[in-house]
Amino acid sequence: MSDLSGKTAQQELTAAARSPADLLTAIDRFREATVLVVGDFILDRFVRGVIERISPEAPIPVLHGRDETLTLGGAGNVISNIVSLGGTAVPIAAIGNDAAGRTILAALENQGVDVSGILTDPSRMTSSKSRFSALNQQVLRFDEEEIRPLSGDHRQAIIERFRKHLSRADIVVLSDYGKGMLLDGVAAELIGLCTEAGKRVIVDPKGHDYSRYAGATVVSPNRKELGEAVGRPVADDEQVVRAARQLIDAHGFEFVLATRSEKGMSVIGKEDARHIPTQAREVFDVSGAGDTVVASFALSLAAGLDRQAAAAIANAAAGVVVGKRGTARVSSEELMAALFRSDATSHSERSVVDLDTAEQIATAWRREGLSVAFTNGCFDILHTGHVSLIQQARATADRLILGLNSDASVRRLKGESRPVNTARDRAFILSALAAVDLVVVFDEDTPLTLIERLRPDVLVKGADYTVETVVGADIVRAYGGRVVLARLVDGKSTTGLIGKISSSNGSN
């Protein structure tokens, strides 16, 4: 397989999964997946406030705290993202019997997580990181931690808990934050148990020595970590591929998933490499984005997707989470919305979906707070009047779904000589327009069923209708939606174009 670095994110998804329904089905199967997560748990504390003066005690700013948030970090953030995406996460870890440890346990239990795999060690300090910010700018980070390998008894207890839960896992994640859980050969022992049981292992690595992860299915370093692991800088696609294959050859990994910040991510095997560009979004905070990638990637593999499609989904999930502040997580609804986010550079035939799929996507958009518009028509020979209607419809909402009459429907409405272009051709052309997010073909004479199920916030038709004669207007207005009549472009119609073409042919 050749490198595909020139393709867009949505084209990568098209290559990796044949239809939008495949992706939605996979995300729905997250609910059936169980991920065993072993690693370092961290309590993340975010303190926000304002700075209005300098301390009289020393030349330092005084932060007046206004609010505080406690969230799960490290392996805990992987767990939170798995649960938020609908999967089942089983944590295996050792934490301290301290305030941070008790907070972590309570947070996991509040998410419905089985904590029987977590060992409480009174002699151990639970890692915590406190971040202090003013005006959305971090001014100080205060870490409390003790880097210490597991003691003999506690190590054996962790291994036994891992063995106990391994049979129920569809996939295993080792989340190494270098705090001690996976030191001194623990990672290698766990990978060996997974190999014996036929379980795939994803490692989020730490440090320079990847030999400790030998035999894992995949490691997921960021670009900086990848360079440190091979002892040289990596920047462009070719350098990333060479570095990843060096690790594959040295340590027996099946492939490497490299995250590359603004350049997206790369999935590299011995014989293939795919580079997936990032989805353009405003970035507020990259804290925990790697955990989101690991969680969504693990669930995607467990749900049956191949590694390219799984990476594309993980890339979309990362795009959502960097748009949030602090250590954040992504929901399945946000992920579905992100996968079908409008992007003028990457429209393709995958935007043509059936009604069931469109209904799921529209629901996901609304849960993300996006408004949805709907318009419909035959759109037989696309002309400026059609484009004007579509652009006006898109201007009324964040997303636009277009209902397209099937060939049989057009024949009943327009006569046996129509349509000139098949529904497949018409749908493909319409899906290429930047203003169109989804196209749904329907067989009925009217789009009433589509309107009832999609429940658009805005229903748009041409001004040659009145509100009273627009099909579905009463339904939309009944639940608080709007009906908009778009202005027409004079003298533009498919019937008129066909007449001109026939007249021109007759005069030749």
Q: Give dist(CA 310, CA 314) in Å, integer.
A: 6
Q: Which residue in the list 291, 407, 437, 457 is annotated as catalytic?
A: 291
148 DSSP 8-state letter: -
Long-range contacts for 151-160 (Cβ within 8 Å, ≥24 apart)?
A: 151/121, 151/123, 154/94, 154/119, 154/121, 155/184, 155/186, 157/119, 158/38, 158/92, 158/93, 158/94, 158/119, 158/186, 159/186, 159/189, 159/190, 159/193
The phi, psi pair for 384, rounded to 5°, reads -65, -30
Q: Give dist(CA 107, CA 89) in Å, integer.
A: 13
Query: Exposed, middle or buried, 304 (CB in 10 Å: 0-12/13-18/19+)?
Result: middle
Q: Give dist(CA 33, CA 259) in Å, integer.
A: 24
Q: Give dist(CA 497, CA 384) in Å, integer.
A: 11
Q: Give dist(CA 196, CA 14) in Å, integer.
A: 35
One-letter amino acid of 241: V
Contact status, residue 465 vs residue 484, Cβ threshold 8 Å: no
Q: Where are the alpha helices (DSSP H) in 437-472?
A: 448-454
Active site residue 291: yes
Report the length, in residues, of the chain: 508
Instruction: Cite the active site residues.
Output: 291
